[in-house]
Structure 1
Amino acid sequence: MSAHTGHQHGHHHHGDGEAGQDIDWDAMAAHLEREAELRAPFVTEAVAWLRDLLAAGGRDPDAVDRLLDVGSGPGVHSCLLAHAFPHAEVVAVDGTPSLLERVRDRAAREGLAGRVHTREAQLPDDMGGLGTADLTWTSHVVHHLGDQQAALDALAGSVRPGGLLAIVERGLSPRFLPRDFGIGRPGLQSRLEALNEDWFTEMRLALPGHTDTVEDWPAMLARAGLTYAGTRTFLIDLPAPLDASVRTHLHAQLARYRDTLTDLLEPGDIPVLDALLDEESPTGILQRPDAFYLTATTVHTGRAS
């Protein structure tokens, strides 16, 4: 289990780690780290909201002493959590050692090595060995597990009385080009999104222990024994022109679409993707002035009694 592996349905990682395919974890880790840095403002806003929820439930957020980031990936969220809860130990949990190494490196760079620790574990089987926390955070992990309800049940068991479970799932897919950007048939991103929905469905069907689930997250949190505490969606809105780091991320994402969806794309869309991937062309995503980045990420919360 790795945070964001394959990914964020309704977002950006479709095709990032299909079962049965070899994964270049160095390239994957760099992609995940860039993306998490791009979305850091959402995490900062979400954590401020979670602090308010803890206070509303009678917990002093400044007294929080242990957090779990389950499916931490390279640890961008883990470090943001540590900054937001300055007296807490943050345990970054992931199933990929190379990603946990990045967590440790980032924590050291940010002066957090004494409070951000790592654990290699798989969800849900290893969840019981992670101990308890005042806040358990997991981002785009549950949908990669065959039985999503069982995963929530395991996660809920980690939350101390009065504490919170925060599940980051769904939202709105990123948009970064106009509907008609002057190459090929208009509406490329809508077509890519539809293909991603199909890919996601097939990915879930192939997961071990797949169980059909109506993705009513408040109801699922209640079935896990938690009191639903609220849902909020957070916007990332970066207007054109984009800086180089965002363009690099979008180039990598388009390359993943090109590799993963080639057999599903309309024939006319393949040369369009190739044009967008051209690193030297003014029509490529690395150069064009009309590229923007707009997406929304949703957080669902439950409180332990």
Structure 2
Amino acid sequence: MSQHSESRQGNHGDHGDHGAHGGQGQGHAHAHHHDGPHLDWNELAPLLERQAEIAIPAYTDAAAWLGTLAPVQGVRRILDVGSGPGVVTSLLAEAFPAAETVAVDGTPELLARTRDRAEARGLGTRVSTVHAELPEGIAGLGQADLIWAGNSVHHIGDQRAALVEFAGLLNPGGLIALVEGGLPTRHLPWHIGMGRPGLEARLDAAGADWFGEMRAGLPDTKDEPDDWRALLAGAGLTPAGTRTFLTDVPAPVSPVVRELAVTHFGRLREGCGTRLDADDRATLDRLLDPADELSLHRRTDLFHLTARTVHTARKG
């Protein structure tokens, strides 16, 4: 759910969220810029923003849940790590009205979008931004009562060490919320009337390969299982619960959701085309061709369905 969204195991295609794959994440994981295959977060900004806006109901539910785990009026400073275009930043500011909410990202253009959004929502005095690369910049972020890291930790090579650093930023009783994992985003049924059925499952497999290469190319990368509860406990925190939030936009979709799907599949074709066989590449080409009656531009069965998992832990 963070906006740089993309999620993890089971959501590798979304790591394109921000990237080669087309982007399913929810716009948040852009704090780190040392990724293997190059991710141009500024270029991806409009896509990230649309993704996050479509998932606003899920993010709102997640923020409300955090309000049951942390005293709403007692949260005075929030760090939104890997804030992307700031959709979740504003939602957190609204959910915790006594807090200063700080958007942290490595892309100045995304931070500018965050400030513009906050101003438009009347939150300008309570939302600030910090330009920082992770993990190098973690130590300078200051103390917080709530840290939201939306699909950003998986862009850090040594995730365990990063969580230890984040734990050190939490005030006593403070809460960290990691958005990592969930389910792959789906836009199409299994049988789409052309090519071999099951196209999106094969795109997931290509995305998993891309994600592995991205992780392997990060500085100081560690081969660490995605046991987030254990990693949080290893950082000296007490796990406080895990929940998954659904974004379900059924067919027929709005023009905005259709445009998002077209952009997503276009990036998949560009970033993962070499990992697919000729038949699947031809199917993607037809899906992207506005003149084709079975294209994404014309289909009546297009939808948007995904799930993002939030893992929480508290500092004793």
TM range (shorter): over 0.9
What does residue 178 of structure 1 align with? 189
CA contact (8 A) 2:186 2:200 kept: yes
Matched, 1:52 2:52: no
Counterpart among 139, 145, 151 of residue 134 in structure 1: 145
* C-alpha distance 62-102 of structure 1, shift in aligned 2 (>3 A): same
* Bigger mean CA offset, 7-16 vs 197-206: 7-16
Counterpart-to-counterpart distance in 1, 2:139 and 2:42: 29
Counterpart-to-counterpart distance in 2, 1:27 and 1:273: 22
Counterpart-to-counterpart distance in 1, 2:302 and 2:3: 27
What does residue 57 of structure 1 align with? none
Question: TM-score, normalising length from structure 1?
Answer: 0.93
Partner of 2:257: helix, strand, or coil?
helix
What does residue 223 of structure 1 align with? 234
* C-alpha distance 52-22 of structure 1, shift in aligned 2 (>3 A): closer
Counterpart among 111, 119, 124 of residue 108 in structure 1: 119
What does residue 242 of structure 1 align with? 253
Whichever residue aligns with residue 45 of structure 1, its letter is: D
Matched, 1:272 2:283: yes
Give the Å deviation of 1:49. Answer: 0.9
Matched, 1:204 2:215: yes
Counterpart-to-counterpart distance in 2, 1:23 and 1:147: 19
Counterpart-to-counterpart distance in 2, 1:280 and 1:301: 47
Give the Å deviation of 1:74. Answer: 0.5
Matched, 1:4 2:19: no
Counterpart-to-counterpart distance in 2, 1:14 and 1:299: 16
* C-alpha distance 252-281 of structure 1, shift in aligned 2 (>3 A): same
* C-alpha distance 31-135 of structure 1, shift in aligned 2 (>3 A): same
The percentage of aligned residue pairs carrying the same residue is 51
Count how many residue pairs are aligned between Structure 1 and Structure 2. Answer: 298
Q: Deviations over 1:84-125 (max 9, x none)?
A: 111211000001111101111111111111001000012222
Matched, 1:32 2:54: no
Partner of 1:215: helix, strand, or coil?
coil
Partner of 1:263: helix, strand, or coil?
helix
Counterpart-to-counterpart distance in 2, 1:258 and 1:36: 22
Give the Å deviation of 1:279. Answer: 2.7
Counterpart-to-counterpart distance in 2, 1:226 and 1:146: 20
Partner of 1:183: helix, strand, or coil?
coil
Give the Å deviation of 1:4. Answer: 2.1
Matched, 1:160 2:161: no
What does residue 108 of structure 2 align with? 97
CA contact (8 A) 1:32 1:73 kept: yes
CA RMSD of aligned residues (A): 1.7
Q: Deviations over 1:194-243 (max 9, x none)?
A: 11111111211111111110111100000111001011011111111011
Counterpart-to-counterpart distance in 2, 1:293 and 1:207: 31
Whichever residue aligns with residue 46 of structure 2, its letter is: A
User: Could you list the runs of 5+ residues in structure 1 that have no partner in the other structure?
Assistant: 55-59
Give the Å deviation of 1:20. Answer: 5.9
* C-alpha distance 139-25 of structure 1, shift in aligned 2 (>3 A): closer
Whichever residue aligns with residue 188 of structure 1, its letter is: L
Partner of 1:262: helix, strand, or coil?
helix
Give the Å deviation of 1:3. Answer: 5.9
Counterpart-to-counterpart distance in 1, 2:194 and 2:77: 51
Matches within 5 A, 1:48-87: 48-54=64-70, 60-87=71-98
Partner of 1:13: helix, strand, or coil?
helix
Whichever residue aligns with residue 146 of structure 1, its letter is: G
What does residue 151 of structure 1 align with? 162
CA contact (8 A) 1:3 1:94 kept: no
CA contact (8 A) 1:3 1:70 kept: no
CA contact (8 A) 1:244 1:286 kept: no
CA contact (8 A) 2:145 2:171 kept: yes
* C-alpha distance 78-23 of structure 1, shift in aligned 2 (>3 A): same
Counterpart-to-counterpart distance in 1, 2:126 and 2:40: 29
Counterpart-to-counterpart distance in 2, 1:14 and 1:290: 25
What does residue 14 of structure 2 align with? 13
CA contact (8 A) 2:7 2:308 kept: no
